[in-house]
Amino acid sequence: MKEMVFRDRVHAGQLLAGALMKYASRDDVIVLGLPRGGVPVAFEVARKLHAPLDVIVVRKLGVPGWEELAMGAIASGGVRVINHEVVRAADISPDAIEAAAAEQLKELHRRELAYRGHTSAPEIEGKTAIIVDDGIATGSTIRAAVQALRQQEPKQIIIAVPVASVDSAAMLQPMVDEFVTLVVPVEFRAVGQWYQNFSQTTDAEVADLLAQGCLQERILAPDRP
């Protein structure tokens, strides 16, 4: 059987929304995209579900000298997730971890300001939060997002992605109330391999989609039951 390949993030979001329709038109649902690439996917999900759209900003902590390899991640609210296996294997010192965290914290705050104009997180308490990304490879970033949301006492946390690796799906499923994905390929090299167009999403595009999501929510809200 040929594996599914998405045209782009918009296409992936439209298909993903179809698997989440039981959450449509509910006052307690909020869709949270992971910037940058998860936001175009999340926008399509939020639009289809008639749900508000926001972001949860998470920054990967890269191994010094090999930044593509994640040794952990940080998220809004002071959350830090460390991959202790990677730290031990690469013999990374506590000082190196602190330096990487301090650097990424600056970028985290910059992005929050660029996307929303402020650094205040959305109200999550008592709500069903659907975390959306364009795909999951190692899972360290979305794991940090889940831990950040747990501190805000949501009613439910749902992870929804078009594609996820077998290992990340197995790791994340027990952490949330529901894990929704369209493809879990046995052979997984990178998220981008499952997209025909996987061009980089810009800060400006994220801010524009959030603004559209806010406008959509104001239009739809008066008609809700």
Write out pLDDT tens, residues 174-218. Answer: 999 999 999 999 889 899 999 999 999 999 999 999 988 765 554
Q: How many domains, the chain?
A: 1
Domain, as residue range, for 169: 9-57+117-220
CATH number of domain containing 142 = 3.40.50.2020
104 in any annotated domain: no
Residue 25 pLDDT: 93
109 in any annotated domain: no
DSSP strands (E only) in 1-133: 29-33, 53-55, 58-63, 66-75, 79-82, 128-132
Say what the alpha-carbon torsion angle 85, 86, 87, 91 is, to the nearest 10 degrees.
Answer: 110
100 in any annotated domain: no
Sign of the dihedral defined by the CA atoms of residues 151, 146, 59, 11, in that order: negative
- Element at 160 (helix H, strand E): strand 156-163
3-state DSSP helix/strand/coil percent for the chain, to nearest 5? Answer: 45, 25, 30
User: How confident is the model over 69-109, as pLDDT tens digits?
Assistant: 888 888 877 788 888 999 999 999 999 999 999 999 999 98
pLDDT confidence of 9, banded at 50, 70, 90? Answer: very high
66 in any annotated domain: no
Residue 166 pLDDT: 95
85 in any annotated domain: no
43 in any annotated domain: yes
Over residues 140-152, the mean pLDDT reads 87
Q: Residue 39's closest CA among 58, 23, 54?
A: 54
Over residues 8-36, the mean pLDDT reads 96
Over residues 50-73, the mean pLDDT reads 88
